[in-house]
Amino acid sequence: MLRRTSLFIPGNNPAMLLSANILGADSVIFDLEDAVALNQKDSARMLVKKAITTFDFIGIEVLVRINPVSSPFWKDDLREIIEAEPDGLVIPKATKEDVIAIEALIEELEEKYNVSKKVSFLLIAESAYGVEMIAETLGCSKRITGVLLGAEDLTADMEVVRRVDGEEIDYARKRVVMACKAFRVQAMDTPYTDVDNFDGLLADTEKAKALGYTAKAVINPRQIDYVHQVFAPTHDEIDYALAILQEKERAFTEGIGVFSYQGKMVDQPIILRAEKIVAMARKLGLIT
Amino acid sequence: MKIEKPAQAGTLESNDIYVQLLPAEGEGIEIRLKSVVIKQFGNQIRKVAAQTLSEMGVTECLCLLDDKGALDYTIAARVESAVKRSLC
Amino acid sequence: MKNSLNREVPFNPYQGIRTLEPRTFEVTKNVISGNKYRESLAELIKELNIKDGDALSFHHHLRNGDYVLNMVMEEVAKLGVKNLKVIASSLFAIHKPLVELFESGIVTEVYAAYMTGPVAKAISEGKLKGMCMLHSHGYRATMIQTGEVTVDFAFIASPACSMSGNVSGSEGPSNCGVLGYAIADAQYAKKVIAVTDYIVEPKDVEIKAEWVDYVVKVDKIGDPKGIVSGTTQITRDPVGLKIAKMTLELMKGSGLLKDGFSFQTGAGGISLAVAKDVFEYCKKEQIKGSFASGGTTSYLVNMLEAGIFEFIYDVQCFELDAVASISRNKNHKKMSAAQYADIYNPDNIVNRLDFVILGATEMDTDFNVNVTTGTDGVIMGGSGGHSDTAAGAKMAIIVSKLVSSRISVLTDKVTTITTTGETVDALVTDRGIAIHPRHQALIDHLKATTKLPIVDIHDLYQMALKLTGIPKRVEHEQRVVALSQYRDGTLLDCVYQIKPE
């Protein structure tokens, strides 16, 4: 499933749950953690569970951010939510130990409720330890589909000030994306918190894209279209990719193995990248 | 089962419902409803609340509802939550 | 008797859209200049010889800051007359003192294009002993011009007025911009009384001295801050903003959003968001429209000053920015209600509109729209310019959330028909866009070239029901308290007295 944007939706807020499936994000994250007060955790998980089974989420990925393993809430979160069969869980402050514990309980619950599909994991790397140990963590479960960098909690953990230029999270950003590429999972960039600054949002997203991120979490629906704009292939990229594939077809029919286009040799990685771009462009309806 | 311990769930925000469970004043389940859509959905709201209480095994309680246009699933979730809070 | 929309009405049933022969109306009123000036409103009212059953008219350009209606009626009530008709172009919360006059029988009939607040509630509760006619802005001018309704005394709140009775709306401490709804009253009422707080020879005369019988000075005719009444803020709700974006795409897909286009929007939060999106799109694509009309807000003024439109045609100012713009922009033109929307005037502004963006409390699967009553049956508005602009515009687009606090905008049968589906072209909601089947070519084009969620209105209705459940129809009393009147004078629907809480 396409995942360029993931929109956080406070789990205890029926007004916001109502519009979750129409705001245009590729995936929604029903939040049981930071958006829910401590004394409302029990109500929130019941509400989210029922919301998942009430609304239609066709073409939208449904994720639930549970509470961290260090909290007293995570087991009850899972016991309530798994039955509703969300597409995935977002695991905050994820470490290898946390993921293993969560997966063990989920295996039990999935069997108990006889679910039709296994739930996936989106890990949040938001502590120094979490970022440092990311490669180990990624190796411990086959359910992991991606990592979200959580810069707010991370900088708090590192006891540094969050900056507009992102200098303080530069290493973490690069480390996380490298580990994601190594394990072939998605790297999702941290949300841009200045919600009225769309130029800043575009610049921040472009920066992340250049590093290899293919998605960004959003905290306000107005950010969605801007992020989609960045993660869409440009007209030039699409034209180039189509030309490459056309050349490839021509070379194939003429029995030529390796060919060149516009003076550059075209080998397998370039062809694969062209295929990905064309597939994405088709999915986005940019070409037929 | 009778509700002994008072409990609340939900909020007064729009699209939500505020549920208060109290020990019964009379016999059985009594539901008192205030709602911004009472004319259009009053009966339906009561039905969902009563059904949820009954599914959870509640036989006696006073259930006060202050509704701001909550959909059925929200009513069920808030009533269920109030019952669980009352029982723990 | 049933009208063509299958609604029960007591007389003059609506029979579908008619093309009427154009008519011009001659203003013959010519007041011989004499001693028009009076210093005491109370004394003047005694002098007027108001009788039982007379019709008194007022305009609402000072909106919820109007003092004149209340001041006049307070004095009139002391005369001992009864069964009066109040013909107010609109009524707001500030006009609450009228309720007592309903209860005492001093006022027994009301005509208005829009009403809100305690007066509207009182009429819904049955406190008006006679009938309330709810008509469009355009029809108010029409009915006065044709003589279908006779105004005995027109009390015209006049921000600037000369001793001889030349009146302007755009000067003075109570500057309200334009007096569009007062023009027909001034031209045809038997007696015209200009009530002013600022004696001056006005620069831009809207109401001529030869139509005015009396000029009376009072301390204050109103509070201009009351003009900004409620609904003129762009929505911040992300769902509303999404609806606005979809509406822009629809407008683009219609092929009408190009150089020379004309545009009007209501003052609701989502409608204004559409105006903003249109503004940004036109700026980017360098599209130059011909005119915007309204009901004017600062958003339209911004568009005029940015060169997106050549003209604004203004029948009423919703905001002080719009009031100020009239004085500083020569292309911000005043117009009368007749120039705006009189059905007998084929060159009226509404007929020249490409787009109008409107709201709705309810809409049914025949595209009929209700802006007169809420789903609870209480009067909370009225056509205003709704049915006029929908009839005239090439594309009348209704914008609304599909479901809000469990109430769906779509219903099987609207409580009150304000605007007939024959004049409505599309409904844009957060969960889908329904386009009237008469536009099959447009539907096909949009489905082929855009990703807009075009759906059948019946399917959209089912989507709403699935979310909310099936609502119980709100019961009402048998008594008809108001009549929803179309711009050709026929009756669209009845408004019934509500049941007590």
Average pLDDT for A53-81 = 95
In chain A, where does the domain assigned CATH 3.20.20.60 lie? Answer: 5-230
pLDDT of residue C229 exceeding 70: no
Q: Look up tokens 């007929």; give the residue.
A: C351
At C69, the pLDDT band (50, 70, 90 cuts) reads very high
Region C114-133: mean pLDDT is 97
Mean pLDDT of C68-97: 97
In sequence order, the 6+-apart residues with CB closer than 8 A to the CB of A76 are A41, A42, A45
DSSP C424-458: --EEEETTEEEE-GGGHHHHHHHHHH----B--HH
pLDDT digits (tens, 9 = 90+) for C385-433: 999 999 999 999 999 999 999 999 999 999 999 999 999 999 999 999 9
Low-confidence winner among A248-252, C308-312, C444-448 (lowest mean pLDDT) = A248-252
Residue-level pLDDT at C97: 97
Which of B12, B37, B67, B68 should one mutate to test binding to chain C, selecting the residue with the greatest count of C CBs within 10 A?
Answer: B37
> Strand C432-435 vs strand C426-429: parallel, antiparallel, or unpaired?
antiparallel
Q: What is the CATH number of domain A5-230?
A: 3.20.20.60
Q: What is the pLDDT of residue A257?
A: 75
Helix (H/G/I), strand (E/B), else coil: A149: strand
The helix (H) or strand (E) run that includes residue A273 is helix A268-283
Which residue from B36, B43, B71 is facing C468, i.e. has the nearest CB? B71
Mean pLDDT score of chain A: 93
State what percent of residues in chain C have pLDDT above 70.
99
Residue A54 touches partner B, C-beta closer than 8 Å: yes
* Token pair belonging to A80: 């309530």
pTM of the model: 0.92
C428 Cα to chain A: minimum distance (Å): 13
Nearest CA of chain B to the CA of C470: how many Å?
8
CA dihedral A198, A202, A204, A207 (to 10 degrees): -170
Smallest CA–CA separation between B64 and chain C, in Å? 19
Q: For chain A, report the end-to-end CA distance as a whole number of angstroms.
A: 19
Q: Are C2 and C491 in contact (CB under 8 A)?
A: no
Give residue A14's pLDDT.
Answer: 97
Rounded average pLDDT over C49-62: 96
Residue C329 carries which side chain, given as an amino acid letter? N
C407·B37 Cβ contact <8 A: yes
- C405 to chain B: which residues are within 8 Å by CB? 14-15, 36-37, 68-69
Over the stretch C455-486, which tens digit does the pLDDT of each residue have?
999 999 999 999 999 999 999 999 999 999 99
C-alpha angle C203/C206/C212, rounded to 5°? Answer: 110
Lowest mean pLDDT: which of A95-104, C226-235, C345-354? C226-235
pLDDT at B69: 97
CA distances from C304 to C193, C266, C349 (A): 35, 17, 17
Residue pLDDT, tens place only, B15-58: 999 999 999 998 999 999 999 999 999 999 999 999 999 999 99
Q: Compare all CA atoms of chain C with the CA of A221 and give the residue at the minimum distance.
A: C238
- Interface confidence, given as ipTM, is 0.95
The Cα A121–Cα A143 span in angstroms is 6
- Mean predicted lDDT score pLDDT of chain B: 96
The CATH number of the domain covering residues in C37-227: 3.40.1080.10
Which range, of A277-281, B41-45, C154-158, C254-258, averages the lowest pLDDT? A277-281
Total Cβ atoms within 10 A of residue C457: 22
Tokens matching residue C228:
């900004």
pLDDT at B15: 97
CATH class of C238-474: alpha beta
pLDDT at C231: 53
Distance CA C426, CA C396 (A): 7
- Which pairing describes strands A27-31 and A5-10: parallel, antiparallel, or unpaired? parallel
Question: What's the confidence (pLDDT) of residue C320?
Answer: 86
Q: What is the pLDDT of residue A194?
A: 92
Tell me what pLDDT residue A288 has: 67
Q: Do C242 and A18 touch (CB under 8 A)?
A: no
Give residues with Cβ within 8 angstroms of C113, minimum separation 6: C89, C90, C134, C135, C136, C137, C139, C140, C382, C383, C384, C385
CA distance B28 to C444: 58
pLDDT band at C224 (very low <50, low <70, confident <90, very high): confident
B68: chain A residues, CB-CB within 8 Å: none
> Would the CB atoms of C472 and B14 count as touching at under 8 Å?
no
**C70: pLDDT confidence band, cut at 50, 70 and 90?**
very high
* Sign, Cα dihedral of A96, A98, A101, A103: negative
Nearest to A55 by CA among A103, A23, A80: A23
HSE of A124 in the Cβ direction (CA atoms, 13 Å)? 29
Question: How far C239 CA sits from the closest chain A CA (Å)?
Answer: 7
Task: Kindly determine whether residue B76 and residue A51, on different chains, have CB atoms separated by under 8 Å.
Answer: no
Collect all residues of chain B within an 8 Å Cβ-Cβ radius of residue A18.
Answer: 15, 71
Q: What is the mean pLDDT of residues C139-150?
A: 96
On whether any CB of chain B is under 8 Å from the CB of A79, the answer is no
Determine the distance in angstroms separating the CA of B38 from the nearest CA of chain C, rounded to an integer: 9
Q: Which chains touch A (3 or more CB pairs under 8 A)?
A: B, C
Output the pLDDT for position C468: 97
Average pLDDT estimate for C360-385: 96
**What does the pLDDT average to over C35-45?**
95
What is the distance in angstroms between the CA of the first residue and the CA of the last residue of chain C? Answer: 30
Euclidean distance between CA atoms C377 and C362, whole angstroms: 11
Give B28→chain A minimum CA distance, Å. 25
- Give domain limits for chain B: 7-87
Name the 3-class secondary structure at C176.
coil
Domain(s) labelled CATH 3.40.1080.10 in chain C stretch across 37-227, 238-474
Span C312-323, mean pLDDT? 92
* pLDDT confidence bin for A265, thresholds 50/70/90: confident
A117-153 pLDDT per residue, tens: 999 999 999 999 999 999 999 999 999 999 999 999 9
Report percent pLDDT > 90 for chain A: 77
Instruction: Spell out which residues of chain B touch residue A54, defining contact as CB-CB under 8 Å.
Output: 71-73
pLDDT of the residue at C402:
97
Q: Given this model, what pLDDT does residue A271 score?
A: 87
Per-residue pLDDT band at A252 (split at 50, 70, 90): confident
The dihedral of CA B43, B46, B52, B54: what is its sign?
negative
Whose structure tokens read 């939550």? B81
pLDDT at A267 over 90: no
Percentage of chain C beyond pLDDT 90 is 92
Task: Please name the fold of domain B7-87.
Answer: Ribosomal Protein S5; domain 2 (3.30.230)
* Mean pLDDT taken over chain C: 95
State the count of interchain CB pairs (< 8 A) between A and C. Answer: 20
Angle between helices A268-283 and A235-253 (to 10 degrees): 130
Confidence at A1, pLDDT banded by 50, 70, 90: low
- B85 with A42: Cβ contact below 8 A: yes
* Structural element, H or E, at residue C138: helix C137-146
- Among all residues of chain C, which has the CA nearest to that of A223? C238
Considering only CB atoms, C242 lies closest to which of A22, A220, A285, namely A22
